[in-house]
Amino acid sequence: MTEVDNTWSVKKLAIVFYPFAAGAVAINLFLLGLIGIALGFPAISPVMSVWLSIPLGIPATWWAAKWIRGLMDEADGK
């Protein structure tokens, strides 16, 4: 009997987690913009932070997926 490999690759995890990571990036960019106001920089609108989070969410998602894959491997004893 053959054993099926049901492991999630980093790529699959990244595809699943992208909306969550991009949302977290958008929130953090908006809050960073609020801190920037205190330092004299112009404000970042919520819409601008969402638009900026689309490309910036990709590396954040990749790092999160690699971290989660490592945790899954550790839990499996690999």
Q: Which residue in this structure is represented by tokens 């929130």?
A: 27
CB 62 within 8 A of CB 14: yes
Find the helix packing angle between 10-38 and 46-76, rounded to 10°.
140
pTM of the complete model: 0.82
pLDDT at residue 2 in the model: 57
pLDDT at residue 3 in the model: 55
pLDDT at residue 36 in the model: 93
For 21-58, what is each residue's pLDDT tens digit? 999 999 999 999 999 999 999 989 999 999 999 999 99
Helix, strand, or coil here: 8? coil
